[in-house]
Amino acid sequence: MKRKEGARAPFIVRRKLQDTGTSFTISIPKEWFKGHGLDPKKVEDLLLVGDKHILVLNPNERDIYSLVSDYIDGKAPDTDIEKALLDRIRKKAAE
């Protein structure tokens, strides 16, 4: 069954790895960007959280995106809620 273009519901797709020499890349479906109102030309970077699985964080979710971005840049979480959220994100990637 084909979903309506731009739909926000979760989707499952198969993507091929591309060997770029020093790393591997995967493409993100245009549907994901459209479904979340993102213009790929305006997205400067995407954050990945990985262990057993890789999670791509949506830059429109500013609170979570900023928290993880700050953590990557070496800033410790300020509150217990932020610590719990980071812990939940790490656990989700490890499931």
Q: What is the residue extent of each domain of the chain?
A: 1-43, 44-95
At 8-64, the pLDDT tens digits run: 566 778 889 999 999 999 988 888 888 888 898 888 888 888 878 788 888 888 888
Instruction: Please tell me the number of Cα atoms within 13 Å of 58 on its side-chain side.
Output: 11
At 70-85, the pLDDT tens digits run: 988 888 888 898 888 8
For the cut 60, the answer to whether the pLDDT of residue 3 exceeds it is no
Q: How far apart are CA 31 and CA 4, in angstroms?
A: 9
What's the residue count for the chain?
95
Q: How far apart are CA 59 and CA 65, in angstroms?
A: 6
Residue among 89, 95, 42 nearest 70 (CA): 89
| pLDDT confidence tier of residue 1, bands split at 50, 70 and 90 | very low
